[in-house]
Amino acid sequence: MWSVLHLRLISPATRTEEATAVLEDCPGVTNIVVLPGAAREPAGDVILCDAARESANEVLGRLKWVETEGSIAIEQVDFSLSRAADHAVDEAPGDPDDAVVWEELAHKVHADSRITWAYLTFLAIATQLAGIGVLQNSPILIVGAMVLGPEFGAVAAICFGLLHRRWHLIVTSFRTLVVGFTVAIAITFACALVSNWLGWIDLGHLRGNEEVQFIVKPDRWSFIVALLAGAAGVLSITAGKSSALVGVFISVTTVPAAGYVAVALALGDWEEVSGSVSQLAVNILGMVIAGTGTLLVQRKFWPQVGRRSSV
């Protein structure tokens, strides 16, 4: 986890003193450097500084005007040898692992809410792997499909949108989920249908696969797992714990359920189709509820600087 952030600001010369005063006033900010007239586009002064992660919301909230009158960029500092930086981190309330940089999270979820070719490709491949895993009764393939699926980004965007009442973000993210799973299921359905016509698979491959039946039998435990995964997923995104996010993917059966739906449709097993759709809905609903609740707790109760931020 990165504990120090590096900020580069471009400020109009007339407001540089105001910007530096804010930086000097915020706890956890150090290594402030001003380069008068160094910026060409947009024109202005360049201000560099390091800030403890817990201080980022305070800085960004008080320098919101820089976004429109100049420029502000943030970089993660992978490694820093600086007693001043260490003192800044100690000075800032809370712990870097607990701090949520809300502007950073807002940009991330907006990016993840969009439909892209990469998103559709990964989701389609993951769903096909899940379909093959169902037919081959292979939990290993199913786990691989769960890890590959990119759908949690859109789920997290819905959680963020609900927390901040950004309805357009919610609609966009929900559309991304619906379109993504529709395309992935359609592609997997077509492949399964061709395989059935060629005689490679039949209904017998779907029936009696006890090891993967959990995908089509949602129950109270499915919802509990989805709640836990939603909370862990949001924590992993806000705290930068990528290894924990992989664990979230393995916990929920959204992609396997989509693969099961496609295969069951191709083979005409309507009872299994309904069970898979229910599993998919239960998982997404549980993750949205828990993810939104986790963000609410982080905003209200976790110690961090920046509660005056407008995000």
Q: What is the pLDDT of residue 211?
A: 67
Distance CA 30, CA 50 (A): 5
Distance CA 16, CA 9 (A): 10
User: Which residue numbers in the chain have pLDDT < 70?
Assistant: 1-2, 88, 90-98, 208-211, 240-251, 302-311
Q: What is the pLDDT of residue 102?
A: 85
Q: What is the pLDDT of residue 163?
A: 93
Q: What is the pLDDT of residue 4?
A: 83
pLDDT in tens, 241-280: 555 565 556 667 789 899 999 999 999 888 788 888 998 9
Distance CA 28, CA 93 (A): 8
Q: What is the pLDDT of residue 308?
A: 42
Domain borders along the chain are: 4-98, 105-300
Please report which residue ranges of 198-269 form alpha helices under DSSP H. 203-206, 220-239, 242-251, 254-267
Say which residue the tokens 């929900």 belong to.
174
Q: Reduced to 3 states, what is the DSSP secondary structure of residue 38? A: strand
Reported pTM: 0.83
The side-by-side arrangement of strands in the sheet containing 43-52 is 29-40, 43-52, 4-11, 71-76
- Class for domain 4-98, per CATH? alpha beta
Please report which residue ranges of the chain form alpha helices under DSSP H. 16-25, 56-62, 66-69, 83-91, 102-112, 117-135, 139-148, 152-164, 167-197, 203-206, 220-239, 242-251, 254-267, 270-300
Q: What is the pLDDT of residue 125?
A: 95
Q: What is the pLDDT of residue 98?
A: 67
